[in-house]
Chain A
Amino acid sequence: MPKWFVPAAVVCGLMFAAAPILIANAPYESTMGLVQKIFYVHLPSALIFLLAAVVCGVASVRFLFGGNPRHDRIAWAAAELVVLFGIITLVTGPLWARKAWGVWWQWDVRLTASLMGWMVAVAYLLLRKYGGPGSDKLAAGLALFGMANVPFIYISVNYWRTIHPTTNVLPTLPVSMGLPVWFTFATFFLLFILLLRMRVRLEEQRARLDALYLSVDA
């Protein structure tokens, strides 16, 4: 593991410890009250979900056209993080929605597109696990299509009439709410980098193991 890993992990841990204090001190939202505090984990995890999908897509393109296995490892790690942060978003969202909208789920554009994007990531992982040899390139092709979905998810809520808040909410937040949400986003982002690095290391070790097996069998 690189030198920055442990200090960064410590910082991340401290940020995670500090986050609930900031979140608890944030003012209540007028119509939704206490349940709105889910926002402080739902939004950052949704942004990291989209970011991970983009990272996976870009790494897949570079692997597809460049052939460097390092990009393939980053793509696979990013895909796992898409599934992780996607499931966090897709669970915290409905928990919030149950109180805020009265329903657990709504088939509007953003939710449907997010669910489909998540399923593409799950399909990526299934392909890597069960596809056999050559599945690294195929999965890269799949990730590319998945990445094309990301801008659609993000802007869809501005163009379709939907129950989900639009992207206008973030820039217009008061500072008392903006600070906790951006702090939590920074925490999640740091965590994303750490998890990505850890997962890439797993693939590096697996590659080292394969190379060792090949040299031994000679």
Chain B
Amino acid sequence: MMRRLLLAILLVGATLGVPVDTQQPEPKQQEEFVPIDQLPPQDQLPAAPLLVTAYSFVVLALFAYVISVARRLGVVQRELDRLQSDVKRPRT
């Protein structure tokens, strides 16, 4: 129960912490071609954070899944071992 609560708080905190710039001001209509280094800074979007976030997310997601399956497998394996030892034990 506590673990689930902690996980929920962690998730909420993480989503709030990620900067989401959806509230950008409307960009001015460009009349002609402007090379990217002459654009005003708010129209330039650095690619590196997006790239790093993407790759980190992939690694984290795959990792989280492998851990989830391994954990579930461990639970079932323990239960299986316990039951098998119970069966082997002579019944009173």
Contact = CB atoms under 8 A, between A and B. Distances in A.
A205 B47 contact: no
11 contacts: A45-B58, A80-B65, A84-B61, A84-B65, A95-B57, A96-B54, A99-B50, A195-B69, A212-B83, A216-B86, A216-B87
Interface in A1-60: 33-35, 37-38, 41-42, 45
**A interface SS class:** helix
Interface residues of B, number: 27
Nearest to B73: A202
A193 interface: no
A144 interface: no
Given A209-B83, A212-B83, A212-B87, A95 B76 contact: no
Given A88-B58, A99-B47, A212 B80 contact: yes
A128 interface: no
A201 interface: yes
A213 B73 CA distance: 17
A95 B53 contact: yes
Contact of B45 (A87, A98, A195, A206): A98
Contacts of A137: none
B54 A95 contact: yes
Interface in B35-59: 45, 47-48, 50-51, 53-55, 57-58
Interface string B72-90: 1100110110011011000
Contacts of B79: 209
- Interface of chain B: mostly helix, strand, loop or mixed: helix
Contacts of B51: 34-35, 37-38, 95
Contact of B76 (A35, A91, A99, A206): A206
Is the interface on chain A under 10, 10 to 19, 20 to 34, or 35 or more residues?
Answer: 20 to 34
B80 A88 contact: no
A91 B73 contact: no
A41 B80 contact: no
Nearest to B55: A41
B58 A212 contact: no
B77 A88 contact: no
A128 to B, nearest CB: 13
Given A37-B51, A41-B55, A195 B65 contact: yes
Interface in A77-118: 80, 84, 87-88, 91-92, 95-96, 98-99, 104
B50 A91 contact: no
